[in-house]
Amino acid sequence: MSDFRAELGDIPVDDHPRIVQQRSRDHYWYSPVLKAKLDHVTAEIVVSPRSNDEVKTVLAAAYKHGVAITPRGAGTGNYGQAMPLAGGAMLNLMNMDKVLDIKSDRVRAQAGAVMEQIDNQTKAAVGGELRFHPSTYRMASIGGFIAGGSGGVGSVRWGGLRNLGSILGLKVITCEAEPRELDLEGEDILKVAHAYGTNGIIVEAEMPLTASYDWVDMVVGFDDFMEAARFGREVAAQDSLLVKEVSVYAAPIPEAYFNRHKPYLKDGQSVVLLMVAPVALAAMSLFISHHKGDLRYRSDTASAEELKRLPPVYELAWNHTTLRALKVDPTITYLQTRYPSLEHLEKMTSMLGDELPMHIEVTRQDGNVTLSGLPLLRYTTEARLDEIVALHEANGCDVFNPHRYTLEEGGMKRTDQKQLDFKRQADPTGRLNPGKMIAWENPDFDFKAGKAWLFNGLNPVGPA
Amino acid sequence: MSDFRAELGDIPVDDHPRIVQQRSRDHYWYSPVLKAKLDHVTAEIVVSPRSNDEVKTVLAAAYKHGVAITPRGAGTGNYGQAMPLAGGAMLNLMNMDKVLDIKSDRVRAQAGAVMEQIDNQTKAAVGGELRFHPSTYRMASIGGFIAGGSGGVGSVRWGGLRNLGSILGLKVITCEAEPRELDLEGEDILKVAHAYGTNGIIVEAEMPLTASYDWVDMVVGFDDFMEAARFGREVAAQDSLLVKEVSVYAAPIPEAYFNRHKPYLKDGQSVVLLMVAPVALAAMSLFISHHKGDLRYRSDTASAEELKRLPPVYELAWNHTTLRALKVDPTITYLQTRYPSLEHLEKMTSMLGDELPMHIEVTRQDGNVTLSGLPLLRYTTEARLDEIVALHEANGCDVFNPHRYTLEEGGMKRTDQKQLDFKRQADPTGRLNPGKMIAWENPDFDFKAGKAWLFNGLNPVGPA
């Protein structure tokens, strides 16, 4: 490690144990399973380059001296993406936060630029904004979102990050004797998007912009959860009703966990959260009353004092829901699911009841309005968690397991050959984020056997 | 009629027979059935008011003297919407063509404003454009589109004109002793949208704007029609790939009727026409090559000379396809259909072959990618036309018959109670566009009997 440090020149480095420990954490602790496995994990130092050249210097040194590198944005991921399983160095990219170029329909920024900051600049310059962002919009970096995210607020209209056209270009730096800058476009983007930084360090991203709006937050109550879900699905199917967020929460989630909004809620109601374009407000009000929705709150008529006190609804949504529940009840965790129809959703909610308080994010996938689930889970044991996953699968509902820290187990449950091939070129010695790509570590792993994979480095006293 | 004229003051009036005849026509003649029924129809004069007050003067005079009023924009409708079945006066609204107000997300214009002109102004002012327009964009008025249209270029993303939120507000003038100006919002809009001006004269419209783009035209060839259709459907299902137009044409439509584009086409190929946002071009090129499409033309790399010579692709699409075919072969007409799936489409095309050269407009309806058909039809007899309609219906494919001049027969085949109720208030003596709303003329008409309704006024020598 000292040989590695000696090559870094004046690149900022931090080895204060508390800082390093802090920067060695993402939001893996939403999962009790990941918490048990990863709590002891830490890097040795944090390196914070300020330019592409400095990133190259770091990666050349890591290659030369065999130091593991775990890239990190704001550390807001939930799957242990940014947990340094093999120790080594955290590569903090938040000093590389410049917006490089704004055009009428696209923006190019450094990886560490915070998404809200990007939008502030593009709104001012061209009246445009990013198509989607995670609920951690005010903290998360664009590079981290691309490396570890899949969609979010805006997915109800624009689909997912991995869809063709959602990312226009990426610049990545390889980990070799002489690190290269590679500009990826078109389908090459999928080689490194959502690869957790295992096969190249994303240093710049070019993203499409869409027209920006002063989105209006709405909270709509329904006495029955399935009425709320039906309404949510219907809203998203109205092509003419411009929305950026539609999500559905079964009682008692709202009253129990949406603390600041509590004065606006009615106990026992399930709730739909909306972000609505001003141009769609009149039509939306009508649509809500047609569906006998109970409009509990709308930000366009709120007082300045209310607006100051209340978080935007996107900070109740996506994994902020889980975060807010965890703050109240530390035994809670969550699942990621997909319900093929309202009937599937109804079956699973009636089967699991309050053990799985339901949270639906309505999205578009391949042109279809889709019920993506982020249900809370009143956690008891890992065995029961696995049972609930199996129950979903037995009933034709997909589960994307957020209690796994590898790319494959949380995602498609198979090797992504393009990502693996690219890692062979861009990180031939496996320095980058070790332990996250099973295909690299153990090409023979049997995804169908149903056992979680354990990275050797996590078990230093003996083989897994 | 002279009493009526005497009340008009200096409002421009024209009674030159050739002019009146010309202005008494829309594009009803796309249908041989309508052509036979409506060819003799003409008004007696054309009145061209320049303000809301002048419209009121005209309508008060019509009310008082029992003169039929047929409102008219550019006369680009295809269903005889603007044919003066009962004679009387044409109300030409093209002198009322001002854009009244532009905001960042909406525009308010007079009914006679031409859509391309509106867009020119909104693009310059706020970088916005109308969500959709007909293929007659460069001629058609916004009022005519709302009164007689249902969607068009842009419907692949935004759905239809009658969807909630597609029209923000309308100002209509009633036909009474003292005509009133009524401002309609929310669902009241549906009382007069697509009512052919039978229950109030639309004089102003407020419409949502969306971000404007320099849309790129593309022509993509496929050796097999079903491959083209599959590609068209898939493109529209890519939420991340921003398009404004996706349409599919079976061979030999392109080579036979797209004359100016002929140098770019390959004989025997079926074709998909696209309008693509510049931000989606790279992804679209990739998507085309994945689908083994043959990219025959793209406007972003065309020379200035080519761009001058070639019409925009939207002037090959929607009912411009029919128009171009009719210019080459006057025996051709068309149908309006909807195919629930690619399998339905394949079945009907293989069943009807070259008697029904297929033309699909890919649209969104209720959140779903939809195959809307505007197939050409090699017309022989009305009996055979009815047979083809029946064949569609027997195979689970909807037909919206464009060979009918009434609201109900071309549309939902039932009374629209809201439109009828509104006519009772806004046009109590039935002066406005007589003969177009069956529910008004003959409340007992049986839509299920399968017989076309005939307006009495069309048959002046005896009862229908």
* pLDDT grade for B459, boundaries at 50, 70 and 90: low
User: What would the pLDDT profile of B353-382 be if each residue is shown by its tens digit?
Assistant: 999 999 999 999 999 999 999 999 999 999
What pLDDT is stored for residue A249 in this prediction?
98
Angle between helices B342-352 and B225-237 (to 10 degrees): 150
Average pLDDT, stretch B403-419?
Answer: 89
CATH class belonging to B1-212: alpha beta
How far is A373 from chain B, CA to nearest CA, in Å?
19
Range(s) of chain B covered by CATH 3.40.462.40:
216-334+337-399
- Between chains, do A238 and B367 touch, taking CB under 8 Å as contact? yes
User: What would the pLDDT profile of B312-363 be if each residue is shown by its tens digit?
Assistant: 999 999 999 999 999 999 999 999 999 999 999 999 999 999 999 999 999 9
A chain contacts of residue B212, beta-carbon cutoff 8 Å? none
User: What would the pLDDT profile of A400-413 be if each residue is shown by its tens digit?
Assistant: 889 999 999 887 78
Average pLDDT, stretch B100-117?
Answer: 98
* CB contact at 8 A, A324 and A257: yes
Average pLDDT, stretch A11-28?
Answer: 96
* pLDDT grade for A201, boundaries at 50, 70 and 90: very high
C-alpha distances in angstroms, B260 versus B139, B223, B315, B436?
20, 21, 11, 37
How far is B354 from chain A, CA to nearest CA, in Å?
31
Q: How far apart are CA A72 and CA A119, in angstroms?
A: 21
What pLDDT is stored for residue A462 in this prediction?
35
Q: ω into residue A252 within 30 of 0, thus cis?
A: yes
Q: How many CB atoms lie within 10 A of CB A103?
A: 15
Residue of B nearest to A241 (CA): B165
Percent of chain A with pLDDT over 90: 92
In this predicted structure, the answer to whether residue A48 has a pLDDT above a threshold of 50 is yes
Residue of A nearest to B206 (CA): A279
How far is B425 from chain A, CA to nearest CA, in Å?
23
What pLDDT is stored for residue B444 in this prediction?
87
- Between chains, do A240 and B164 touch, taking CB under 8 Å as contact? yes
- Between chains, do A157 and B238 touch, taking CB under 8 Å as contact? no
A chain contacts of residue B287, beta-carbon cutoff 8 Å? 164
In this predicted structure, the answer to whether residue A464 has a pLDDT above a threshold of 60 is no
B chain contacts of residue A206, beta-carbon cutoff 8 Å? none
Average pLDDT, stretch A339-351?
Answer: 98
User: What would the pLDDT profile of B201-234 be if each residue is shown by its tens digit?
Assistant: 999 999 999 999 999 999 999 999 999 999 999 9
Average pLDDT, stretch A443-447?
Answer: 86
User: What would the pLDDT profile of A286-335 be if each residue is shown by its tens digit?
Assistant: 999 999 999 999 999 999 999 999 999 999 999 999 999 999 999 999 99
Range(s) of chain A covered by CATH 3.30.465.10:
1-212
- Between chains, do A279 and B209 touch, taking CB under 8 Å as contact? yes
Q: Which of A165, A185, A280 sits opposite B280 (nearest CB)?
A: A165
A chain contacts of residue B211, beta-carbon cutoff 8 Å? 105, 128, 210-211
Mutation site for A-interface testing, chosen from B206, B279, B363 by largest number of A Cβ within 10 Å: B279
What pLDDT is stored for residue A461 in this prediction?
42
- Between chains, do B367 and A236 touch, taking CB under 8 Å as contact? yes
User: What would the pLDDT profile of B112-128 be if each residue is shown by its tens digit?
Assistant: 999 999 999 999 999 99
* pLDDT grade for B51, boundaries at 50, 70 and 90: very high
What pLDDT is stored for residue B460 in this prediction?
45
In this predicted structure, the answer to whether residue A443 has a pLDDT above a threshold of 90 is no
- Between chains, do B240 and A163 touch, taking CB under 8 Å as contact? yes
- β-strands A89-92, A359-365: how paired? unpaired
How far is B37 from chain A, CA to nearest CA, in Å?
37
Average pLDDT, stretch B76-81?
Answer: 92
Average pLDDT, stretch A402-426?
Answer: 91
A chain contacts of residue B278, beta-carbon cutoff 8 Å? 105
* pLDDT grade for A460, boundaries at 50, 70 and 90: very low
CATH class belonging to A216-334+337-399: alpha beta
A chain contacts of residue B280, beta-carbon cutoff 8 Å? 165, 208
Mutation site for B-interface testing, chosen from A163, A279, A366 by largest number of B Cβ within 10 Å: A279
Higher pLDDT, A454 or B297: B297
How far is A232 from chain B, CA to nearest CA, in Å?
12
Q: Which of A105, A242, A369 sits opposite B367 (nearest CB)?
A: A369
Please give the distance of CA A146 from its chain centroid, rounded to a whole number. 9
Nearest to B425 by CA among B171, B174, B71, B65: B174
User: What would the pLDDT profile of B16-30 be if each residue is shown by its tens digit?
Assistant: 999 999 999 999 999
- Between chains, do B240 and A164 touch, taking CB under 8 Å as contact? yes
Q: Which of A185, A240, A283 sits opposite B282 (nearest CB)?
A: A185
B chain contacts of residue A210, beta-carbon cutoff 8 Å? 211
What pLDDT is stored for residue A459 in this prediction?
57
How far is A109 from chain B, CA to nearest CA, in Å?
16
Q: What is the pLDDT of chain A when averaged over all its residues?
A: 95
What pLDDT is stored for residue B461 in this prediction?
42
